[in-house]
Amino acid sequence: MSLPSFTDVTKAAKRLKGRTYPTPLLRSTVIDDLSQKTVWFKPECNQKVGAFKYRGAYNRLSTMTQEERQKGVVAFSSGNHAQGVSRSAKELGISAVIVMPSDAPKIKMQGVINDGAKIVLYDRQTESREEISKDISEREGRIIVPSYDDLHIIAGQGTTGLEIAEEAKAKGFQFDALITPMGGGGLCAGISLAMNELSPKTQIYGAEPEFYNDHQQSIRAGRRIGLDATPDTLCDAVMTPIPGAMPFAINQHSVSDVFAVSDRDCLMAMAIAKKELGIQVEPGGAVGLASVLTGKFAPLTDIQSICVVLSGGNVDPAIADRADQMLD
């Protein structure tokens, strides 16, 4: 297995220059008071397609040969990777098919449709998205674009960490810790490559839903552990049942620990982010903030300054309303 390096991240940054939206770090004194830490936020919920996933998708598709581009691509995702691939494919003139669960958030499905990609729906309880994508690839010759187990995908996500480290340096400080949502682990792996090179004293942490704590179990055990049950969660963006093989090969050496939070914790974090930062975060994108607000870092007295990655903001109105009501 050929793993990406920091050099791959810097190459991805060059490909993405002028393509991504700027997402400068944000602060809230209220959140500082609530957490008793100094907290900065990387709002990737404001990124193109409303999530960091565009970074990896564009980097992957832009490295394809002309022959591969003519064949088209197929990807499987509950939404954010789907939108990242569909938007990148549109920009690069590539035909795209996206395999999505029938219960995916409508806002994410609509984003894919708006970019001209074809959606193939499946039942996440009875069907395998991987098998469906493989079948489409074999029948139509399309290139499969995985959401995290890919060198170029991870490198593209790593540009998030590159920007964090560079902005912190420009502001004259260094983070004690950085925490990011973990689904397949690609974002955390890419960020780790950047931070380990540019800010090696920064400890890396992950966050995930309490019933999808595969990374927490795996990091603590030192090996990949899959979940036996896959219950419903509002955090559709990070409900992966086992860490990706390539991301875990990186994360097992760079991640200090992983925290698990409840859906209710995420709704509260969404409400506070909207009120204090003025941004809309989706449940899965709010797991890092939820871990900070629920005191997961409180016992770690050596950690005073934290960067929290808010990974996505694509949420259906009904869920956003539930979050807003948490502060009523």
Whole-angstrom distance, CA of residue 289 vs CA of residue 278: 14
Whole-angstrom distance, CA of residue 258 vs CA of residue 71: 39
**Helix, coil or strand: residue 294:** coil
Same domain, 124 and 187: no
Whole-angstrom distance, CA of residue 84 vs CA of residue 96: 11
Sheet holding 143-144: strands in order across?
118-122, 96-101, 73-76, 143-144
* Containing structural domain, residue 103: 54-144
Domain count, the chain: 2
Q: Write the CATH number for 26.
A: 3.40.50.1100
Same domain, 106 and 196: no
Same domain, 84 and 159: no
Same domain, 104 and 200: no
- Tokens 């920064």 locate to 202
Q: What is the pLDDT along the chain (328 residues), one digit of tens a residue?
A: 799 999 999 999 999 999 999 999 999 999 999 999 999 999 999 999 999 999 999 999 999 999 999 999 999 998 899 999 999 999 999 999 999 999 998 999 999 999 999 999 999 889 999 999 999 999 999 999 999 999 999 999 999 999 999 999 999 999 999 999 999 999 999 999 999 999 999 999 999 999 999 999 999 999 999 999 888 999 999 999 999 999 999 999 999 999 999 999 999 999 999 999 999 999 999 999 999 999 999 999 999 999 999 999 999 999 999 999 999 8
**pTM tops 0.85, yes or no:** yes
CA 229 from chain centre, in angstroms, equals 22
